[in-house]
Structure 1
Amino acid sequence: MVEATPFEPVAALGGGVLIGLSALLLMWSVGRIAGISGIVFGAVSNGGEERNWRLFFIGGLFIGSLIAAWLSGALSGVTPVASTPMMIAAGLIVGFGTRMGSGCTSGHGVCGISRFSLRSVVATVTFMASGFITVFVIRHLLGEGL
């Protein structure tokens, strides 16, 4: 059985504040919404200065995550609970869903809802419901990752 992750409100609050500040800084400096799927798509399909800020933003996500994990020791003893084929399939489905939904939880859930976008509220509720149903089916009906 998978061990439950303890709730750490201070870490969650700190992470939320950093996400909000990064979204605010991106909007202030570049005039763009911090939707990660759109940023990644633009980094692959655009060139020049438009590509540069996107690559720096993506690099900052990776480097910041690695630094935070290293400082906190959060990755010690971590092993995936799902099989590699299941994780690859999940990644492809998420990528397809973000294109179909015209964005992801960062663009719609963080930036869209904070701008009072009804479209983003509907998209985020759909993302979350789909995630809940998927976890239930994968974990409880198929028994994967237990």
Structure 2
Amino acid sequence: MNGFTPISALVGGTLIGTACVLLLWLNGRIAGISGILGGALAGPERLWRWLFLAGLVVGTGVYVGLSHAWGGTPPPAPRQALPVWLLPLAGLLVGYGSALGRGCTSGHGVCGLARLSLRSLVAVPVFLCCAIATTWLVRHVLGLAT
């Protein structure tokens, strides 16, 4: 974990939590990204969903721009050691897992845990264990990432 900055982590976490609370209070919706994306592609109330997703992209751009302007370190480059064909496969597996778990890591981890949802209290440790196992498999068994 190189270049950990607790201030930016605190600010980022506060912004994520604030966005989740505002979406719940103002719209009555849980800020689960997979559900928001699914509804934006084929569902009701598409406008707010597209605006929320656009805010994720624009917010990232603003962060990167400001970190450069303030002399901060740029975000790390994507890993080059992974084959490109793994990216769509990984995306499909994440989408399948989100549907299977009835929500994604953001919905369960940020919103579900905050609401003390029993389903989220079970889902989050399962997500983490699967992530640890996948990282170990990719790095140590398949030797694909450095």
Q: TM-score, normalised by structure 2?
A: 0.90
CA distance in 1, matches of 2:50, 2:129: 31
Identity %: 45
- Match of residue 24, structure 1, among 8, 13, 21: 21
Query: Any idea what SS the aligned residue of 1:71 has?
Result: helix
CA distance in 1, matches of 2:143, 2:3: 23
* Equivalent in the alignment of 1:113: 113
CA distance in 2, matches of 1:131, 1:88: 17
- The answer to whether structure 1 residue 53 and structure 2 residue 48 are counterparts is yes
* Equivalent in the alignment of 2:9: 12
| Alpha-carbon distance, 1:79 to partner | 4.0
Q: 2:114 corresponds to which letter in structure 1?
A: S
Query: Any idea what SS the aligned residue of 1:55 has?
Result: helix
Q: 1:109 corresponds to which letter in structure 2?
A: G
CA distance in 2, matches of 1:125, 1:97: 14
**Structure 2 stretches lacking a partner, 5+ long:** 69-73
**Against the structure 1 CA distance between its residues 5 and 89, is the aligned structure 2 distance closer, same or farther, given a 3 Å change threshold?**
farther
**Structure 1 stretches lacking a partner, 5+ long:** none
Q: Show CA shifts across 1:76-126 (max 9, x none).
A: x72433221122211111111101111011110000000011110101111
CA contact (8 A) 1:34 1:107 kept: yes
Deviates more, 1:81-90 or 1:51-60: 81-90
Q: 2:77 corresponds to which letter in structure 1?
A: V
| Alpha-carbon distance, 1:46 to partner | 1.5
How large is the Cα RMSD of the aligned pairs? 1.4
CA distance in 2, matches of 1:86, 1:40: 21
| Alpha-carbon distance, 1:55 to partner | 0.6
CA contact (8 A) 1:83 1:145 kept: no
